[in-house]
Chain A
């Protein structure tokens, strides 16, 4: 069956087209996944910047109640899994989850180690290095980002604060957003790609099979039937064939014509005898 003319025509086309489309779709999906994750991290970085800027006034005035309220309100936002601000010792000062306020963070934990891997903590990191992905205690997929709160002239020159100009980082904002919308979008995109691949496969294989049947297999079958009937002595008109097989049909017509005239001649001789 795999050696038949139909299989030889269809299998290479099917394997080539399906394989190439699948490879393209997988690569495209991988690239789009990376891009969409990058976009989400950029969005989170921007959100973190907005939060730091919006809490700046409260920090300058050491207004801890306002600061706690801002963090609480942001934490109630849909898809925000956690928001916390911790000082440079790793002590959580404000958090949307009140239970963790006052706890000390481990510097080797994900999200901290990126800056604290060396003897001197790094003050700047790229967006992608600041980001981390994990499953939180509630079992939700979270993409979190840590943004440093830099020491600005307004901070170390303010009368109420004790920061020196040498301190580069005063604390860190940690915000985690649910990855569920990203996962859902990727799942929808993946399903669409599977449907697209199946459609390409059906159209290509179906198209090739239909055209081959119309222009090659049917004329060949008609010619085979015709030659078989001629061998059995049944005279009939040659069936109409496609352009490509017309020459072959013409040759067969010629041979069959000569064969038939020979048969008639032979029959006449037999009668005369």
Chain B
């Protein structure tokens, strides 16, 4: 009968535990980075809103040839309709992610979409009237998403910490 050569000896869990601990620590770092990225997105959006509140006066205005090359801006009502559609879709998507417990998030992409709305309103000359609509949209979408990401990451970090605590109490752990 063939028997394994190391039969009767304690298997070496130390190396596996060390690798698992490294993975767990890497996961915790990744989750913390996700939270930081979400906060950076909010900060970017606030910065963008401050610039937009002043009707992008910090930037030089577009010259006539560039405006002519860009063509006629879309009507303000059309931009508003798209904004409404965007907010509705984004809220539904985030709520669906919350319901399924998924860790996916839009982050900087949402800031990009909102910047697009600010720019289109600015080009159509209706930014002062519609600034608060875009700002409220951003606050809603990013606020909801931040809450979701924060909850998700907190739970995942807690799980990873439990794993870490378990590993530290095992043979080969830090003790």
Complex contacts, B129 vs chain A, CB 8 Å:
30, 33-34
Interface residues in A225-265 (C-beta closer than 8 Å to B): none
Also in contact, A12 and B144, with CB within 8 A (given A19-B139, A30-B129, A34-B76): yes
Neighbouring A residues of B139 by C-beta, 8 Å: 19
Query: Can you spell out 26 A-B residue pairs with CB atoms less than 8 angstroms apart?
Result: A2-B147, A12-B94, A12-B98, A16-B91, A16-B95, A16-B140, A19-B87, A19-B136, A19-B137, A19-B139, A19-B141, A20-B87, A20-B88, A22-B140, A23-B87, A23-B133, A23-B140, A26-B130, A27-B130, A27-B133, A30-B80, A30-B130, A30-B133, A31-B80, A33-B129, A34-B129
Residues of chain B at interface, number, CB under 8 A: 27
- A15 adjacent to B144 (CB under 8 Å): yes
Q: What CA separation (Å) do A31 and B136 show in the bound complex?
A: 16
Contacts of A19 in B (CB 8 A): 87, 91, 136-137, 139-141, 143-144
Is A3 interfacial (CB 8 A cutoff)? Answer: yes
Q: Known contacts A8-B151, A34-B76; is A23 also within 8 Å of B83 by CB?
A: yes
Instruction: Report chain B residues within 8 Å CB of A15.
Output: 140, 143-144, 147
- Select one of A2, A12, A23 contacting B137, CB under 8 A: A23
Give, as a whole number of angstroms, the nearest-CB distance from A251 to chain B: 23
Find chain B residues with CB under 8 A from A218 CB. Answer: none
Contact with A along B108-131 (1 / 0, CB 8 A): 000000000000000000100110
Complex CA distance for A27 and B126, rounded to whole angstroms: 11
The contact of A12 among B77, B84, B132, B147, by CB within 8 Å, is B147
State how many angstroms separate the Cβ of A22 from the closest Cβ of chain B: 4
* A contacts, CB < 8 Å to B: 2-3, 8, 11-12, 15-16, 18-20, 22-24, 26-27, 30-31, 33-34
Contacts of A26 in B (CB 8 A): 130, 132-133, 136
Cα separation A2 to B149 with both chains bound (whole Å)? 13
Q: Residue of A at shortest CB range from B144?
A: A15
Is B55 interfacial (CB-CB < 8 Å)?
no
Name B61-81 residues within 8 Å CB distance of A. Answer: 76-77, 80
* Cα–Cα distance between A8 and B98 once the two chains are bound (Å): 10
* CB of A35 to closest CB in B, whole Å: 10
Q: Which residues of A contact B136 (CB under 8 A)?
A: 19, 22-23, 26
Taking a contact as CB atoms closer than 8 A, the residue among B84, B94, B126 that contacts A23 in the complex is B84
Extra contacts, 18 of them, besides A12-B148, A18-B140, A19-B87 (Cβ < 8 A), are: A11-B147, A12-B94, A15-B140, A19-B91, A19-B137, A19-B143, A20-B140, A22-B136, A23-B83, A23-B84, A23-B140, A26-B136, A30-B76, A30-B80, A30-B133, A31-B77, A31-B80, A34-B129
